Amino acid sequence: MASDLKSIKYFLLDMDGTIYLENELFDGTLDFLTYLKEHGKHAMYITNNSSKSVDTYIEKLASLGIDSTAEDFCTSADATAFFLQKEFPKGKIFLLGTPSLEQYLTEKGFTLIKEYSEVPSKRPDVVLLAYDTTLTFDKLDTACKYISEGVTYWATHPDNVCPITKTYSAPDAGAFMACIEVTTGKRPSFIAGKPQPFMINMIMEKTGATKDEVAVVGDRINTDIASGCNAGVTSVCVLSGESTLPMIEASDIKPDYVYKNIREILNYLVT
């Protein structure tokens, strides 16, 4: 059973389409964040995009007038590293990912394998697929060789496309995943990002929050809302981004609450 939003302590917020659209902050966002802070509640930002560092997101929110710290974010890269450290501490990774993700994983204690090798000590424990804006044929080919040979295969998130402008979306990790599946016949054994519950589970484990204290707020049924449902926490769909009421009515995935925008959520909290 969904929790009353007034009892929620941790609001896990999607960003684009939920609190802003591209470079325009939605009306009510700052008031909503201020209300949470003044009432001892917490806003955290969750995103599937694994190509950008948290510092980039901090700068993005700052440009919109929102103060944040690294502890306020959970990306699919964060969740992937969190669970990699549980399964393969200080492991070796062959990565399809950006230089910023390479640096992040290195800082977390992992060793990056850069080329194909048949020597056991030079082979990866995991092939990790992320949103790789630096993807080359050589990287993709090497990943397919390792995966075909049985190396564990993980992915940060399953999004097929990454919105770039209102009229164009670039191929994302899910598109690369389809290519690898056609080539090898295999899919990742673990996917960290939405709609999977792992980012939410990570946040609850690190904060000590219980399921009835957490709500996911987002604009996408198949990712944001599905992740909340899969994690067993309260889900809130806003109609300020991708989803519409007809889409929600037609979907098997049902949010616990539907609001027009972040302002309407705030209006409920203050009544």
Reference 19, options 211, 261, 268, 270; nearest CA is 261
Predicted pLDDT of residue 83: 96
CATH number of the domain residue 163 falls in? 3.40.50.1000
What confidence tens digit (pLDDT) does each residue in 227-271 have? 999 999 999 999 999 999 999 999 999 999 999 999 999 999 999
Categorize the per-residue pLDDT at 183 as very low, low, confident or very high, splitting at 50, 70 and 90.
very high
Contact 93, 57 (CB under 8 A): no
Categorize the per-residue pLDDT at 199 as very low, low, confident or very high, splitting at 50, 70 and 90.
very high
The least confident of 48-62, 186-200, 213-227 is 48-62
pTM exceeds 0.95 for this model? no
Predicted pLDDT of residue 186: 98
Q: Do 145 and 245 share a domain, yes or no? A: no
Q: Do 160 and 198 share a domain, yes or no? A: no
What confidence tens digit (pLDDT) does each residue in 100-157 have? 999 999 999 999 999 999 999 999 999 999 999 999 999 999 999 999 999 999 999 9
Q: In whole angstroms, what is the distance from residue 262 CA to residue 164 CA? A: 23
- Mean pLDDT on 188-198: 97
Domain that holds residue 184: 77-191
Q: Do 210 and 186 share a domain, yes or no? A: no
Instruction: Go through 26-64 and write b for each residue having 16 or more CB atoms within 10 A of its CB, e for each that does not.
Output: bebbeebbebbeeeebbbbbbbbbbbbbbeebbebbeee
Q: Domain boundary residue among 160, 191, 222?
A: 191
- Does residue 205 carry a pLDDT above 90? yes
Q: Do 159 and 85 share a domain, yes or no? A: yes
The reply to whether 20 falls in a domain is yes
- Does residue 168 carry a pLDDT above 90? no
Q: Domain boundary residue among 146, 165, 191?
A: 191
Predicted pLDDT of residue 150: 98
Q: What share of the chain is helix, strand, coil (3-state, %, to 5)?
A: 40, 20, 40
What confidence tens digit (pLDDT) does each residue in 28-58 have? 999 999 999 999 999 999 999 888 889 999 9
Angle between helices 29-38 and 262-270 in degrees, nearest 10: 40
Q: Do 109 and 173 share a domain, yes or no? A: yes
Q: In whole angstroms, what is the distance from residue 155 CA to residue 130 CA? A: 6
Residue with tokens 């591209």: 22
Predicted pLDDT of residue 52: 83
Residue 175 dihedral angles phi and psi, to the nearest 5°? -70, -40
Predicted pLDDT of residue 51: 84
Predicted pLDDT of residue 163: 75
The reply to whether 67 falls in a domain is no
- Does residue 206 carry a pLDDT above 90? yes
Q: Do 219 and 183 share a domain, yes or no? A: no
Predicted pLDDT of residue 15: 94
Predicted pLDDT of residue 169: 85
Q: Is 129 exposed, middle or buried (0-12, 13-18, 19+ CB in 10 A)?
A: buried
Name the amino acid, one letter, at 81: A
For the chain, the average pLDDT equals 96
Reference 186, options 225, 151, 159, 212; nearest CA is 151
- Mean pLDDT on 167-180: 93
- Does residue 165 carry a pLDDT above 80? no
Q: Domain boundary residue among 191, 219, 237?
A: 191
